[in-house]
Every structure is written in C-alpha cells, then in structure tokens.
Amino acid sequence: MNLNIAVLAGDGIGPEVVAQAQKVSDAIAKKYGHTINWTPAITGAAAIDAVGEPYPDATHQICMDSDAVLFGAIGLPRYDNDPSNPVRPEQGLLAMRKKLGLYANIRPTLVFPSLLHKSPLRPELIENADFVCIRELTGGIYFGDKGRNEARDRAWDVCEYTKPEVERIIRLAYSYAMERKKKLTIVDKANVLETSRLWREVGQSLEKEYPEVTTEYLLVDAAAMRIIQWPEGFDVMVTENMFGDILTDEASVISGSMGLMPSASIGLHTSVFEPIHGSYPQATGLNIANPVGTVLSAAMMFEYAFKLMDEAQEIKDVVNKSLAEGIVTEDIAGKDKAYGTAEVGDWLAAQIK
C-alpha cells in the first residue's frame, strides 16, 4: 500500500519528535510491505520566518494532496512574549483546521500499567481510566468575532455556534460511544452561556436516536473536578472548542506525562495526527523531548487514516514495551536514567524490525 503523508514538523521540539515517529512508521511500513511517501511542508514560526505567514498556500496544497498529515508542534517565545504581534504561529494551526475542515479533535486518555506510579493521582483512582474526549475544533470563542476598541482598554471575543456545527460533532461522539461502552458525557456551561444551552438542546434532541447509549450532561466545572476525582467514570466526552482545549490538557496529566498523549483531528478533508504537547522551545536541540506522544499519533494515523489495525497495534505494543523496560526520556526517568529522544526512536524502530 502506498501511503502519502505530509510532514509538518513545525517549531521547537516538533522536528525532533516527528523524526522519531517517521523512523517508527518507516519500520512498520517495511515490515508490512507498505511504501510511505513523506512530503515536508512548513508551518508556524518556521513558515513566518520563511514566507511571512504561518500556514502558506503551498503547505495547504501539500496537505490536501496527501492521505494524512503528521504534525509536530508550533510556537516560539518571541511570539508568546509579544501579544501585540499581528502574525502568530498559532494562527497557522487555526487556519489549517479551518481550511481542512477539521471539526473534531480526538484525544484518548489512557494509562500505562508500568507508569501508574508516575501519575499525580493515586493508582487506585486511575488504573482503569480509559476515555476519549471529542473536542469541537472550528467554532466557539477561538473563531468568533474578536477585537479591541480604539483606546485599547476594552476587548471582546465572541463565542458562537450554529446548530449544524453542534449536531455534527455530537453525532460523531455518539458514533464513538456506540463502538465503546455506550456512554456519552456532553460537557457545557448551560446554566450561564447561551451557546451551551444550544449544545444541550441539540444533545437532548439527538439522544432519542441513540437509545442504546447512556447520555449525561455535565457542567464544565463539574467535569474538571470529576476528571481528577473519578476519571474511570468517563467513556466518551464531547464538548466545545475552548472547554475541550482545557479539559484535555488536564486529563493528559493522568498518564504521568503530557509527552505520552496522541491525538487525531478529523473532518472534511485530510486528517491531522499530532501529539497534544506544545513546542517546548527550551528543550529544542537537547535530545530530551519525549517522542512517544508523536509515535502514538502515528499509530492513530495507521488506524484512522489507513485502517491498518495490525500495524497500529504493533506500534502501541512496542511503546508499552519501551515504557515497561525503562527506555524513556527524562520527563519519566529523570536525568540519571534517561534515554535521549533519538535513542528512544531508534529503540522502537529496532524492536519493530
């Protein structure tokens, strides 16, 4: 099988962790008789430096022409520290989501048996935690009208959703729930926000079509508490853009390291697979970044984009083996017993071969 994959490594540690995911993907492709055609493209700060915009048309065309996108991370301190800068790396990520029609971000939250002791939560609270958060990506406050008055002493960001947008993402969440434990949690702030009341109305109208699924509605603050108090109580969670952004980062620490968590963004065109962590610019070039989240994102790519289940499972299995045997970076092992980013990637690829 020929797999045409766009590579948007991005900024900071992005190129380093993406390179390890490519190593592992190449190893699995060779073992199973596939051919991967990698096409690199620029985005984020790297693209701003090169052409003045964070998601150039040429990059978008490469994504559209590919079967999947493997994405690293974007962002650099010089942009974070200058809020007045009109062009920012993160605008590239939002533009990519909008232009590719990526309306759903799929983030699994799972634990690794060998790393239970690394979680900030007690092992008995998390040992069976396994849930998926589906975050709406193209609406809400991130894409609504925003601005400042002339005196720049007043600012606004408008949160806006349409019924079709909400219905689309909730239907997708129900499809995931049907394939899992048949439980769906719809997270909103319907006691305060009008957009959340729309979400709840749409959810209530759709739940009648899925009688096999137990549907619950949870206010976002209560959901934030339950993720810490009882993460095993979730199966599939769906929520709007900003709530999902915050809740999934909270949930990521359950595993013991944000560097372990993958994600997929799916929608109308080419799907994007990326780790949930940021660009971590302080670690750039130091060979200390954890590549596992990106490697597991590649596993999601094989599963979701190409329907190659055996290949995806083998990547997951070899990752679990690396964690159990201590072939890990310093965020998990500490500096004294840590392997480098590239060494972890080499070990994973060698195990597959």
Q: Provide CB contacts within 8 A for 251, sequence distance 6+.
A: 107, 109, 131, 133, 227, 231
96 touches 272 (CB < 8 A):
yes
> Closest Cα to residue 239, out of 262, 253, 222?
222
Query: Is 142 a residue of the active site?
Result: yes
DSSP symbols for 104-161: EEEEEEE--GGGGGGSSS-HHHHTT-EEEEEEE-SSSTTTS-EEE-TTSS-EEE----
Say how far apart CA 213 and CA 185 lie, in whole Å. Answer: 10
Q: Which of 189, 217, 280, 331 is catalytic?
A: 189
**What is the DSSP pairing of strand 271-275 with strand 262-266?**
antiparallel
Q: Which of 49, 57, 221, 310 is catalytic?
A: 221
Q: Which of 103, 142, 161, 339 is catalytic?
A: 142
Query: Is 249 a residue of the active site?
Result: yes
The amino acid present at 109, given as its one-letter code, is T
Query: Is 245 a residue of the active site?
Result: yes
Say how far apart CA 290 and CA 284 lie, in whole Å. Answer: 12
Q: Which of 26, 80, 130, 245 is catalytic?
A: 245
Query: Is 189 a residue of the active site?
Result: yes
Q: Which of 183, 249, 304, 316 is catalytic?
A: 249
Say how far apart CA 202 and CA 317 lie, in whole Å. Answer: 39
**What is the DSSP pairing of strand 68-73 with strand 35-40?**
unpaired
Catalytic residues: 142, 189, 221, 245, 249
